[in-house]
Amino acid sequence: MKEKKVLIIGLDGATFDYIFPLMRKGRLPNLSKLMRTGSWGNLESTIQPITGSAWPSFMTGKTPAKHGVFDFIQQEIKEDVGLVNSQSIVGETIFDIFSRNGKEVISINVPVTFPPWKINGYMITGMLSPENAEITYPPEFKKELKDYRIDIKASYKEGKEQEMINDIRDLLQNRTRYTTKILVEKRWDFAMVVFRGTDVIPHYFRKYMDTNHPYYNSSDRRFRNAINEVYENADNAVGELMRIIPDGTTVFLMSDHGHGRLRKMINLNIWLLKNNFLVLKKSPRVKLKYNLFRAGLSPQNVYRTLSNFGIQNAIQKFSRQTRNKVLNAMLSFSDVDWQKTKAYSLGHIGQIYINLKGREKFGSVNPGKEFENVRNGIIKKLKELKDPETGNFVIERVVKKEEIYQGPYLDKSPDLFLFSKDSEYDAFALMAQNTEIFCDHFKGQSGNHRLNGIFIANGPDVKNDIQINNAKIVDILPTVLYSMNIPIPDDIDGKILEDIFEEQFSSKTPKKFEKARVVKKEQQAEVSEQEEIKERLKELGYLG
C-alpha cells in the first residue's frame, strides 16, 4: 500500500463570504474543484478570533485555556506587554506528534512557530520572525532559501496602496515557488504552508469594495478588486501545489478565522475610565498627558503627521528610540492608578481583565463575590454602550471565561470576552488611541476578523461534495491524525470530524487515543528581538 501523506494549506483569514461570490463567477477553479470533490464547511476559530491564539489552537488541538496563548500580546507587567512566540505554546503540537510517530514533517510559515524547534524534518518560521534571526530548523536549511521571504515588507499608506498589493503578490509567489521546490525535493509525510495575503489585504482594502462601508467612496474605483485578486492568487497557489503533490495525498485547506467589515475601534480602556472601572494617577504629569491627549495629541495623529511629512520611514529607520519616546509620552498603563482600578482591557477584538488580587501585580479586587460583582457590573454597563454615530447598541454579547473555556491556564484568560454588533467593532489592543470611546483604526483598516473561517478536506478517504457543520479549529489536529491512523493525545479539546470520511475508511480505521505527554520543545535560541517584532506588529496595524 502507498504511504499516506497529508498537506495542509493555511489561508490566513480566509472566509466563504469572499470565496462564494468569486466561485459563482468561476474565478476560483482550484478551490471549487477541492470542494466539489471533497468535504467542506465553516471552521470556528478561537475566542477571540485572533491569529496569535488561533494557530496555536490548530497546532495543539486545544483551546487557549490549555495551551496558554490568548493573543499576540501577553499580560505580563503593566508597564509593558510581552509578545507570544512558539515557546509560549504549552503542549505537543501537530508537528511534534507526527515527528514522534516517525513521520517526516515540513512546516512552512505557520504563524507563532518562531523561534523554530527540533522536528523530524524542516521548519521555516512564520509571521513575526525577526529579520536576522534563526528562522529554520535545522539552521543550515536556511542556506537553501536564498531569497525566501517570511513576511510583508510594505505597510499600508495612503498613496502607496499599490505597493502593498504588489508586495503581497510577490510574497505569495515567492512562497509558492519555494514550497513547491521543497515539497518536490524533500521527503515528507506531513507538510504544511500558510499564506497571509488573504488576511492582510481584506484588513485594508475592504472599504474599496464594500458599498455599505462607512468609508466607501463610490467615485474611487481604485483597488475595488484587491480582495478578489488576492483570493485568485491564493487559488493559483493552491493549484500549483496540487499539481506537484503525489496522487493520493489528503489535502486540508483551512483558515484561522474569517473576515468582514470593520466599522470602528472601541477604546475599551477609555470606556472603563469614563465608567470609573479604571482610574488614572492624580499626578500633574498624568493630568497633563490626559489633557494633551484630549486636545488631540495621540499616537494616531502623531503617526499621521509623520506620514504627511514623509519622514516616517526615516524615523523608523534611524530613530526608533526617539519615536518610542514620543509614543511613551502618550497615555499608557504606567499612568494607571492600579490601587483604585477594578478592570482594564488588553488584547484584540474585546477582552477585559478584572484587576484581581493574587493574580495581578497590583490587584485591587477580591476573588469571589467582589470579583463577580465587578464583572456583572461591567457586563450591565457594556450593554448600554451606543455608537453615537448610528445610535445603536454596540455590544451584542459578553461571555465569562468559564462559560467557554476549561483548563490549567483559565486563570491567565481575560475574564470577559466581548462580541460587538455584527463583529464590526474592534477593541484597541492597548491603552488607548485618544480620549474618545470610538475612533477610526489608526492605520486605516476597514476589515476585521470574524469567528468563522474555512475548512476543506479532499483525498481518497474523504467524501465528495459534503458540507459539514460545527467544525472548530481544534478539530483539525485529531481529524488529520485520524486520517493518518496515528493515536490522538487524550487531553485535546477537538473532535474527529468523522462525517468527512468515507465509510470504507472509517469502518476499518479504529479511533486510537493515547495518554498525552508532557513535552518541552528543544529550542535553538532564546528570543531577544521582542522590540523588532513589536515594530512589525505596529507596522501591520495590530499594535498602536
Report the interface residues with Zn ion, using CB under 5 A.
199
Smallest distance, Zn ion to C-beta of residue 455, A:
18
Smallest distance, Zn ion to C-beta of residue 164, A:
14
Are 437 and 271 a contacting pair, CB within 8 Å?
A: yes
Smallest distance, Zn ion to C-beta of residue 168, A:
13
Which is nearest to 212 in space by CA: 264, 146, 265, 263? 263
Give whichever of 200 and 457 is closer to Zn ion, judged by the CB atom.
Answer: 200
**Residue 103 to residues 5, 185, 305: CA-CA distances in angstroms?**
10, 16, 53
Question: Cell 515567492 belongs to which residue?
Answer: 174
Question: Cell 503533490 belongs to which residue?
Answer: 245
Smallest distance, Zn ion to C-beta of residue 125, A:
18
Give whichever of 92 and 199 is closer to Zn ion, judged by the CB atom.
Answer: 199
**Residue 7 to residues 39, 204, 242, 513: CA-CA distances in angstroms?**
15, 30, 10, 22
**DSSP, residue by residue, 423-492:** G-EEE-SSS-SSSSSEE--TT---EEEESEEEEEEESTTBPSSEE--SEEGGGHHHHHHHHTT-PEETT-
Give whichever of 22 and 349 is closer to Zn ion, judged by the CB atom.
Answer: 349
- Cα–Cα distance between 409 and 411 in angstroms, integer? 5
**What's the number of CA atoms in the CB half-sphere (13 Å) around residue 71?**
27
Give whichever of 104 and 199 is closer to Zn ion, judged by the CB atom.
Answer: 199
Smallest distance, Zn ion to C-beta of residue 372, A:
33
Residue in the shown chain whose Cβ atom is closest to Zn ion: 199
Smallest distance, Zn ion to C-beta of residue 543, A:
13
- Cα–Cα distance between 17 and 5 in angstroms, integer? 30
Give whichever of 68 and 111 is closer to Zn ion, judged by the CB atom.
Answer: 111
Give whichever of 44 and 92 is closer to Zn ion, judged by the CB atom.
Answer: 44
- Cα–Cα distance between 271 and 266 in angstroms, integer? 8
Give whichever of 199 and 426 is closer to Zn ion, judged by the CB atom.
Answer: 199
Give whichever of 201 and 492 is closer to Zn ion, judged by the CB atom.
Answer: 201
Distance of CA 171 to the CA centre of its chain: 18
Backbone Cα Rg of the chain: 23
Smallest distance, Zn ion to C-beta of residue 257, A:
8
Smallest distance, Zn ion to C-beta of residue 493, A:
23
**DSSP, residue by residue, 255-303:** -SSEEEE--EEE-HHHHHHHTTSS-B---HHHHHHHHHHHTT--HHHHH
Q: Is 313 helix (H, G, I), strand (E, B) or coil?
A: helix
Give whichever of 199 and 493 is closer to Zn ion, judged by the CB atom.
Answer: 199
Smallest distance, Zn ion to C-beta of residue 204, A:
10
